Amino acid sequence: MILFSRQLAVLEKVRHDSMQVSKKPIELISMDLSCQQSSNELFQRSEDCALDLEYLENNAGFGNFGNCPEFTSWKN
């Protein structure tokens, strides 16, 4: 599992809490997916971790929703 957020401290707490339930490794990546270059960086870093990225969930809390191909502009 890869967790990503702009706030690394929050990720570290989530990983710590999750490790109490499951001992599966959790990679942490601090980044802001609202920046256009971040999606490429996230993909590359997931490749570097040798993980098969099956799902990507951005749980930012607000904003647009739907399938990514439906978004035609980074301004959305």
pLDDT, one tens digit per residue, over 47-72 is 887 767 677 666 665 555 556 556 55
Instruction: In whole angstroms, give the CA distance from residue 69 to residue 49.
Output: 26
Global pTM value: 0.60
Token pair 């920046």 in the structure block, residue: 35
List Cα–Cα distances, 28 to 5, 10, 37, 64, 70, in angstroms.
8, 10, 18, 24, 28
Of 43, 62, 39, 41, the C-alpha closest to 52 is: 43
Instruction: In whole angstroms, give the CA distance from residue 33 to residue 37.
Output: 8
pLDDT, one tens digit per residue, over 6-60 is 889 989 999 999 999 988 888 888 888 777 788 888 888 878 877 676 776 666 6
